[in-house]
Structure 1
Amino acid sequence: MIVRNATGLDGPAISDLMVRAAPHFDTKCYPDQLLPPGMTVLVAMENGRVVGWLEGVLDWDYTEPGAPTPPPHGYILAVVVDPESRRRGIGRALLDLFVAEAREADVRWVYLIPEGGEGTAGRLAFFHAAGFTELPPTDDPLPPMGRWTDVEAMAHH
């Protein structure tokens, strides 16, 4: 498996993955070989196929209670893995690369808002296993979850 930054050429395959694994997501400009401006877009590849995708931003401001450090904050908007490729470390590898890129950009903390619906318990367990912890509840159905981008900061909090 290769996990890397996406290029426009990955767009149609990302769109296909979204339609297959997360049909409620907007495919945006991906079918046209364009990446959304201002976004960090990562893909996981196996045998030349896109089997995972992550979309996030590295310059967000989490304004709800619980942010342990001033902005900028990383915000993971979506992480999707092909249903046939799940439970093999692909989602974790995408999250870890995003966290590493956030750290390189001097972003100390990242967060996400887990999606509800079918499979919620599994998603929450997955994010916990990837180092995310729950934040104080907000108006969202599920509490946001955050993770430090470096081990040293995590050890002090």
Structure 2
Amino acid sequence: MPLIRDIAPDDYPVVEELLNSTDLGDGMSYEPGGLDVVVAELQGHLVGVAEFELHCDFGHDEGREAHPREQTFIYTMAVAPTDRRGGVGQALLPEIALRAQEAGDTFLALVPQDGAEEAGRQAFFQACGLTLYGPDRPGAAWGCPVSEILAVKGTADAAGE
């Protein structure tokens, strides 16, 4: 099981490399820019990252359907290609949900990045309990109640004991 922790400045070059290797980076030096960021470590190596914003008013300006309560919006989730299908993403998502719950947010939202791996990203988020909400169009929003993500984690934790 990966260790999930807050990002540290020493992690920035590794996160930059990870984002660029998964086609989610911008090719510039990494800087969190005020976002909440957690990283995943396996055996001392950083293998995943998630950027998110608590209390986000996602989608109002774009005319998207709004969830009636506070939301946490996930901007980026990336796992090193060599460490996919090992539970890293499934550890990052509940950590975000837990932090959202602690902050009083009740809903997680995201827009899966497009590109060559868009179908795989959507399949991952669907397997984690997120569903499409609003119109099915490019840039469509996905989300679910925080409690559903935490319930799935609780079930998995109980099964592993």
Give TM-score, length-normalised by structure 1: 0.82
Deviation at residue 2 of structure 1 after TM alignment: 0.6
Q: Which residue of 2 aligns with 1:53?
A: 49
- Which residue type is aligned with residue 26 of structure 1? D
User: What is the distance in 2 between the residues matched to 1:5 and 1:105?
Assistant: 16
Q: Which residue of 1 aligns with 2:128?
A: 130
Q: Which residue of 2 aligns with 1:68?
A: 67
Deviation at residue 68 of structure 1 after TM alignment: 3.1
Deviation at residue 91 of structure 1 after TM alignment: 1.0
Give TM-score, length-normalised by structure 2: 0.80
User: What is the distance in 1 between the residues matched to 2:29 and 2:80?
Assistant: 20
Deviation at residue 65 of structure 1 after TM alignment: 4.1
CA RMSD in angstroms comes to 2.0
Matches within 5 A, 1:1-150: 1-22=2-23, 24-26=24-26, 30=30, 35-37=32-34, 39-62=35-58, 63=60, 64-70=63-69, 72-137=70-135, 141-150=138-147
Q: Which residue of 1 aligns with 2:156?
A: none
User: What is the distance in 2 between the residues matched to 1:95 and 1:28?
Assistant: 25
The 1:20–1:56 alpha-carbon spacing in structure 2 relative to 1, beyond 3 Å, is same
Q: Deviations over 1:105-139 (max 9, x none)?
A: 0011110001222122221111011111111127x
Would you say the 8 A contact 2:13–2:29 is kept in 1? no
Give unmatched runs, 5+ long, in structure 1.
none
State the SS of the aligned residue for 1:66: coil
- Which residue type is aligned with residue 10 of structure 1? D
The 1:27–1:109 alpha-carbon spacing in structure 2 relative to 1, beyond 3 Å, is farther
Give unmatched runs, 5+ long, in structure 2.
152-161
